[in-house]
Amino acid sequence: MTSNRRTFAIISHPDAGKTTLTEKLLLTGGAIHLAGEVKARGQARRARSDWMKIEQQRGISVTSSVMTFEKDGTVFNLLDTPGHEDFSEDTYRTLTAVDSAVMVIDAAKGIEPQTRKLFEVCRLRSVPIITFVNKVDREGRSLFEILDEVADALALDVSPQSAPLGMGGLFTGVLDFASDTVAKPEGGSKEYLGSREPLGELPGDMAEEIELVREGYPAFDLEAYRSGDLTPVFFGSALKNFGVEELIAAIDRWAPPPRPQPSDDGPVSPERDEVTGFIFKVQANMDPNHRDRIAFMRQVSGTFKRGMKLTPSGLGKPIAVHSPILFFAQDREIADTAEAGDIIGIPNHGTLRVGDTLSESNKVRFTGLPNFAPEILRRIALKDPTKTKQLRKALDDLSEEGVIQVFYPEFGAQWIVGVVGQLQLDVLVSRLEAEYKVGAMLEPAPFATARWIKGSEAALKQFTDFNRANLATDRDGDPVFLAKSGWDVNYQVEKNPDLTFSATKER
Ligand code: GDP
């Protein structure tokens, strides 16, 4: 049986129109009935706790959510990725949980830095990409300029599937190549409201341009798209609904159904009988008075039923999943069953962690969900020194959630936190205050980066005896080398051939 699931994410640079497109996908897919609802709900939620205020101030989204909609028998699972580059770690992890991506670019701006970064992550994992060139209702670059930039910047074949007829003030609709129909703007707002016309006569130079776009680029090739070598390109306007129907149809028709996932036992096929999955994200309850968390599991195989017992790799004993959550856009609904490709939210009190595998047999471990190397290290100091215990608990919790990494040095009383981006530090301080009532300050640490060290007991002992001042343990008690510089790391790597120094920790 072929799966009717399409699990995907939207990647883009801030402001390209991801939120607007998400809204329109959900509207067109029938999941919500009011435009503006995605943002409005987001804001209501954000108001709830202090740390969320940061994202409000900075106008970014810290939390990833999962939205599901169904259209013509296909179930679309859209995983939202936070757009700000400080949250790359979270974003990267979310991309491990999708089978394909939609890349949104602004017709006037082309490929921007964040788009390129996210694209690279997709490329690493051969995640196929459909390109949506947004805002064609405004003045933008020429079609060739945009298409050639995508092709050159990303080293991809581009295969245009539609073209705007004019842009900005001259915009008169979007031509869909497959049906040879033009989606027309209507009314004062010049939106697409379903009116389509067969392609008529075009003015001379426009006819020539469209002809060149249609004929001058590679034809769509499913194989090349699925292997990440070719991207079909749709032009549209999320704000005015253009191109949204075509995009959904393309995801339905072309985007891969759930793909096998890499594990220590070889790729696990979605057809495998038992339920398996992995946790790609853990999120604390929005309500600071409740310590429970939601772990997001990407289901890899099997048919999940409510109440089913699954064994988390980190725990070793089965847990019963009584109140799983499916993330419908309208409402959270209790899931009764879920299939490969679906995302399940599992409420828990900290037993489930990012990177954990869940399975019925406890015989498989998914691989490839890294912890990213912390690029900024800070000492953490308490305003009230009697709060050590609360601080330790908070740091353990937050590192489990993936907000920070924490290192407990062998010498010295001050703990070290590591993050990938500056913004995470602000989030840390305000969450400590709001949720744990712990006032804390961050101070410069004499370290620049950290490496997890592994090796034989003897080699480890020798190393640690010599380098106590630079040693710490992480939340799991595993040894970490705190380095003063990249040079320091290289020096130790050369000096200690029996040890491995990893920038990331795979669980
Ligand atoms: P995000 O940061 O990528 O989520 O971008 P948003 O969806 O919030 O959009 C950023 C801005 O661009 C907002 O002011 C939108 O109204 C606007 N916008 C989004 N899509 C379009 C479009 O197709 N045409 C025009 N003219 N503006 C758009």
- In this predicted structure, what is the pLDDT of residue 411? 85
Assign 502 a pLDDT band (cuts: 50, 70, 90): confident
- Ligand 1: atom nearest CA of 23 is 7
> What per-residue confidence (pLDDT) applies to 142?
95
Domain ranges in the chain are 9-61+102-254, 276-359, 370-506
Q: What is the mean pLDDT of residues 46-68?
A: 46
Q: What is the DSSP letter of 127?
A: -
CATH superfamily of 9-61+102-254: P-loop containing nucleotide triphosphate hydrolases (3.40.50.300)
**Quick check: do 9-61+102-254 and 370-506 share a fold?**
no
Cα 42 to ligand 1 centre (Å): 16
Whether 134 is in the pocket of ligand 1, judged by its Cβ within 6 Å, is yes
pLDDT at 209 over 80: yes
The pLDDT of residue 475 is 86
The model's confidence at residue 382, banded by pLDDT at 50, 70 and 90, is very high
pLDDT tier for residue 288 given thresholds of 50, 70 and 90: low
| Closest ligand 1 atom number to CA of residue 242 | 23
- Give the atom of ligand 1 at the shortest distance from the alpha carbon of 134: 23
The residue to mutate among 11, 18, 20, 60, having the most atoms of ligand 1 within 8 angstroms of its beta carbon, is: 20
Distance in Å, CA 158 to ligand 1 centroid: 24
Predicted pLDDT at 497? 93
Q: Residue 42: what pLDDT?
A: 45
Does the ipTM exceed 0.85?
yes
Count of CB atoms situated within 10 Å of the CB of 237 = 30
Whether residue 237 has its Cβ less than 6 Å from ligand 1? yes
pTM (two decimals): 0.80
284 contact partners, CB below 8 Å, separation of at least 6: 291, 293, 397, 401, 431, 435
Predicted confidence (pLDDT) per residue in 431-472, tens digit = 899 889 999 999 999 999 999 999 999 999 999 999 999 999
Q: State the Cα–Cα distance between residues 398 and 403, nearest whole angstrom.
A: 5
Residue nearest to atom 11 of ligand 1 (CA): 15
User: How far is the C-alpha of 354 from the C-alpha of 139, rounded, in Å?
Assistant: 43
Q: Domain 370-506, what fold?
A: Alpha-Beta Plaits (3.30.70)
pLDDT score recorded for residue 174: 97
CA of 17 to the centre of ligand 1 (A): 4
Q: Which atom of ligand 1 is nearest to the CA of 21?
A: 7
Q: What percent of the chain has pLDDT over 90?
A: 56
CATH number of 276-359: 3.40.50.300
Structure confidence at residue 165 (pLDDT): 96
Per residue in 292-310, is it b (16+ CB within 10 Å) or e — as a string? Answer: ebbbbbbbbbbebeeebeb
CA distances 280 to 294, 323, 345, 397, Å, are: 11, 19, 11, 16
Amino acid 199: pLDDT: 93
Q: Is residue 497 marked as binding? A: no
- The pLDDT of residue 455 is 93
Instruction: Round to whole Å and give the CA distance between 471 and 455.
Output: 15
Contact, 81 vs 118, CB < 8 A? yes
Minimum CA distance residue for ligand 1 atom 17: 17
- Report CA(14)–ligand 1 centroid distance (Å): 9
**Whole-number Å distance between alpha carbons of 396 and 351:** 12
- List alpha helices for 65-183, DSSP H: 88-95, 113-124, 143-154
